[in-house]
């Protein structure tokens, strides 16, 4: 099986962002192009990893984030 993820550069890395879907804010830690499929055919999606105020990280689609400045 091939690699299941790859890091993607993003202009908001290490900045405070807001997840539009949930309204939660936190620091954008990484953007990863990840195979979210259970099969070899693959379904790739860019996921944003955000660390909230509690210290826990959560993911959302990259299209759901915006700068929280």
What pTM was estimated for this model as a whole? Answer: 0.86
| Residues found in the chain | 69
Give residue limits of the domains in the chain. 5-67
Class of residue 54 by CB neighbours under 10 A (exposed 0-12, middle 13-18, buried 19+):
exposed
Domain 5-67 falls in which CATH fold?
A: SH3 type barrels. (2.30.30)
CA dist 41 and 5 (Å) reads 14
pLDDT tens for 21-57 read 999 999 999 999 998 887 777 888 999 999 999 999 9
């Amino acid at each position: 099986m091939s690699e299941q993820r790859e890091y993607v550069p993003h202009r908001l890395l290490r900045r405070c962002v807001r997840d539009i879907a949930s309204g939660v804010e936190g620091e954008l830690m990484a953007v990863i192009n990840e195979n979210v499929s259970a099969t070899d055919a693959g379904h790739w999606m860019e996921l944003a990893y955000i660390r909230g105020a509690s210290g826990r990280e959560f993911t959302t689609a990259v299209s759901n984030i915006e700068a929280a400045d």
